[in-house]
């Protein structure tokens, strides 16, 4: 579908585009959960022609229900809605997905789906089809009227929008302008791929009665949430206020959409396991002359990556990495694989930080939830404070080799500096421990005057489990 320049979003883009900038793109960063949900809801509400969503995970929880209800409302007013979900990552029931798909303006496809359906049969399918279904679509993307998009680390679920006891620290980037055409083409490539199967080919077709029941359930869900403290906080969020007052700051510059092809998930295709996006990012790393900042929820550099980063340091590049601690990670096996690289990297001059389990002043907008556990979920990199990448890719073998991934590379120093400031904030003593080696070469976790000799905040059971997982030969699958 061609960009709709006469839609409300199209007019907004033209009104904010600088003169003589037809080949430039505008961007703004979003990094709090309430801002991230506010941005998505506003995009859906402003859509007049098309909404394209591509997600690894879509949960049927509070935020997932709110977004689904808005998508249904958009479809009712004539907007074409296309939803592409990874079959294994998605947490929705087949019948609910098929019921939403029943709307004439909504089309839903599942990426690389299991052949056997149903709660029990899916387990047999996972075992029997492992060689195929091991390759997943990890992309996260929403496009409105082919004019504006949001991408980054967030899936659809409460933990990504500050409404869960696990509060993911994440980064999205909102983009518009010239690059939107490239982003829309990328979505179309995935949508039309052989790996993307219409949901009505996978499950029985529901009738009108099922659609009406789903509508009522979503309406009731929205009504219950309308008066909640959480949605009040979303409406009061900085992004919501700036949108209402037309004060969003857009940074304009050149940009490229970087994406793996959908055929990376096809075991019979030449691009299977080809690290296409990884190589493009590596080229940007090689261009770094002074500084490289890496934020990655999962960080497993591998022996080649370890040597490469240390070599950058030897050539004068200040390399800094923020990832999860053992206490804050949501995947113990990843931490067990990462742990063995810490000491060699530190010896080679790479600086490492690990996010605290209680990072900064973790607070929720709902008094019911209380204190949350922080976990880094961001995937963002800054090159020489001139270029930045925000997307779905972690620095681990699964993202680089097995999953399909995507994100945007922006050449814009002011925007890069915003990400530098966020990195600096998230690596302060309140948010993270810096890893150091003492005089005898032992690993220590340092925050201000505090210096710990073992994994901070991690229970004995968690430390033991990570140690045991470290013996398993599974690094290539992580």
Segment 221-279, tens digit of pLDDT: 999 999 899 999 999 999 999 999 999 999 999 999 999 999 999 999 999 999 999 99
Q: Phi and psi of 311, rounded to 5°?
A: -65, -35
Residue that is written with structure tokens 């900064």 in the block: 360
Q: Across residues 49-55, what is the average pLDDT?
A: 97
Q: Is 70 exceeded by the pLDDT of residue 372? A: no
User: What local confidence, expressed as pLDDT, does residue 371 receive?
Assistant: 54
Q: Is 50 exceeded by the pLDDT of residue 128? A: yes
Cβ atoms 385, 391 nearer than 8 A? no
Q: pTM to 2 decimals?
A: 0.94
Give yes or no: 384 in active site. Answer: yes
- CATH 3.30.870.10 segments of the chain: 19-244, 275-477
Give yes or no: 52 in active site. Answer: no
Q: How confident is the model at residue 464 (pLDDT cuts 50, 70, 90)?
A: confident
User: What local confidence, expressed as pLDDT, does residue 1 receive?
Assistant: 59
Q: What is the DSSP letter of 396?
A: S
Buried b (16+ CB within 10 A) or exposed e, 127-155: eeeeebbbbbbbbbbbbbbbbbbbbbbbb
Which residue among the candidates 52, 87, 377, 396 is catalytic per the annotation? 377
User: What local confidence, expressed as pLDDT, does residue 360 receive?
Assistant: 60
User: What local confidence, expressed as pLDDT, does residue 261 receive?
Assistant: 97
Give yes or no: 446 in active site. Answer: no
Q: Is 70 exceeded by the pLDDT of residue 334? A: yes
**Other CB atoms within 10 Å distance of the CB of residue 176:** 25
| Residues 64-107 pLDDT 10s | 999 999 999 999 999 999 999 999 988 788 888 999 999 999 99
| Residues 274-321 pLDDT 10s | 999 999 999 999 999 999 999 999 999 999 999 999 999 999 999 999
User: What local confidence, expressed as pLDDT, does residue 2 receive?
Assistant: 59
Please tell me whether residue 386 adopts helix, strand or coil conformation. coil
Q: Is 50 exceeded by the pLDDT of residue 201? A: yes
User: What local confidence, expressed as pLDDT, does residue 13 receive?
Assistant: 93
Cβ atoms 24, 254 nearer than 8 A? yes
**Other CB atoms within 10 Å distance of the CB of residue 460:** 9
Give yes or no: 216 in active site. Answer: no
Which residue among the candidates 102, 122, 140, 335 is catalytic per the annotation? 140
Q: Across residues 414-428, what is the average pLDDT?
A: 97
Q: How confident is the model at residue 363 (pLDDT cuts 50, 70, 90)?
A: very low
Tokens at residue 347, please?
């010896």
Which residue among the candidates 122, 138, 264, 364 is catalytic per the annotation? 138
| Spatial distance between the Cα atoms of 3 and 11, rounded to a whole number of angstroms | 11
Fold of 19-244: Endonuclease; Chain A (3.30.870)
User: What local confidence, expressed as pLDDT, does residue 365 receive?
Assistant: 41
Q: Which helix (H) or strand (E) holds 251?
A: strand 251-259
Tokens at residue 30, please?
């979003």
The DSSP secondary structure of 398-434, one letter per residue, reads IIIIISB-EEEEEE-HHHHHHHHHHHHHHTSTTTEEE
Q: 33-42, 200-209, 306-315, 411-420: which has the minimum mean pLDDT? A: 200-209
Q: Is 60 exceeded by the pLDDT of residue 468? A: yes
Q: Is 60 exceeded by the pLDDT of residue 370? A: no
CA distances from 83 to 48, 172, 174, 194, 411 (A): 16, 19, 19, 16, 30
| Spatial distance between the Cα atoms of 422 and 415, rounded to a whole number of angstroms | 11
Which residue among the candidates 4, 52, 145, 396 is catalytic per the annotation? 145
Give yes or no: 138 in active site. Answer: yes
Residue that is written with structure tokens 């907007």 in the block: 79
Q: Across residues 329-345, what is the average pLDDT?
A: 94
Which residue among the candidates 266, 384, 429, 430 is catalytic per the annotation? 384
Give yes or no: 377 in active site. Answer: yes
| Spatial distance between the Cα atoms of 290 and 384, rounded to a whole number of angstroms | 6
Q: Is 50 exceeded by the pLDDT of residue 120? A: yes
Q: Is 90 exceeded by the pLDDT of residue 475? A: no
User: What local confidence, expressed as pLDDT, does residue 7 receive?
Assistant: 85
Fold of 275-477: Endonuclease; Chain A (3.30.870)
| Residues 374-392 pLDDT 10s | 999 999 999 999 999 999 9
């Amino acid at each position: 579908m061609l960009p709709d320049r006469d839609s409300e979003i199209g007019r907004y883009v033209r009104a904010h585009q600088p003169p003589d900038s037809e080949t430039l793109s505008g961007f703004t960063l979003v990094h709090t959960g309430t801002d991230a949900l506010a941005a998505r809801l506003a995009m859906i509400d402003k859509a007049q022609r098309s909404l394209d969503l591509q997600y690894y995970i879509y949960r049927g929880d509070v935020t997932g229900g709110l977004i689904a209800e808005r998508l249904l409302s958009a479809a009712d007013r004539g907007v074409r809605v296309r939803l592409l979900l990874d079959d294994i990552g998605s947490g929705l029931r087949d019948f609910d997905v098929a019921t939403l798909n029943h709307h004439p303006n909504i089309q839903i496809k599942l990426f690389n789906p299991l052949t056997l359906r149903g709660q029990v049969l899916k387990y047999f399918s996972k075992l029997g089809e492992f060689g195929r279904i091991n390759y997943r679509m990890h992309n996260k993307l929403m496009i409105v009227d082919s004019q504006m998009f949001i991408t980054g680390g967030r899936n659809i679920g409460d933990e990504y929008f500050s409404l869960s006891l696990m509060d993911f620290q994440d980064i999205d980037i909102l983009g518009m302008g010239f690059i939107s055409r490239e982003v829309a083409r990328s979505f179309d490539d995935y949508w039309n791929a052989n790996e993307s199967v219409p949901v009505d080919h996978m499950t029985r077709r529901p009738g009108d009665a099922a659609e009406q029941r789903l509508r009522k359930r979503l309406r009731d869900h929205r009504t219950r949430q309308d008066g909640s403290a959480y949605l009040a906080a979303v409406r009061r969020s900085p992004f919501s206020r700036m949108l209402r007052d037309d004060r969003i700051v857009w940074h304009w510059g050149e940009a490229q959409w970087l994406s793996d092809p959908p055929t990376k998930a096809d075991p019979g295709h030449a691009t299977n396991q080809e690290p296409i996006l990884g190589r493009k990012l590596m080229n940007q790393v090689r261009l770094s002359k002074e500084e490289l900042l890496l934020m990655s929820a999962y960080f497993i550099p591998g022996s080649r990556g370890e040597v490469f980063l240390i070599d950058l340091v030897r050539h004068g590049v200040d390399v800094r990495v923020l990832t999860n601690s053992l206490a804050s990670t949501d995947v113990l096996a990843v931490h067990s694989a990462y742990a063995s690289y810490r000491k060699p990297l530190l010896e080679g001059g790479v600086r490492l930080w690990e996010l605290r389990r209680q990072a900064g002043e973790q607070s929720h907008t709902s008094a019911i939830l209380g204190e949350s556990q922080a976990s880094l979920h961001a995937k963002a990199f800054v090159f020489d404070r001139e270029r930045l990448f925000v997307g779905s890719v972690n620095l681990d073998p699964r993202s680089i080799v097995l999953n399909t991934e995507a994100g945007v590379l922006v050449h814009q120093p002011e925007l890069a500096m915003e990400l530098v400031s966020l990195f600096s904030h998230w690596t302060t003593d309140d948010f993270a421990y810096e890893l150091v080696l003492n005089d005898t070469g032992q690993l220590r976790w340092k925050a201000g005057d505090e210096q710990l000799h073992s994994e901070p905040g991690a229970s004995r059971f968690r430390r033991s489990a990570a140690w045991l997982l470290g013996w398993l030969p599974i690094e290539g699958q992580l």
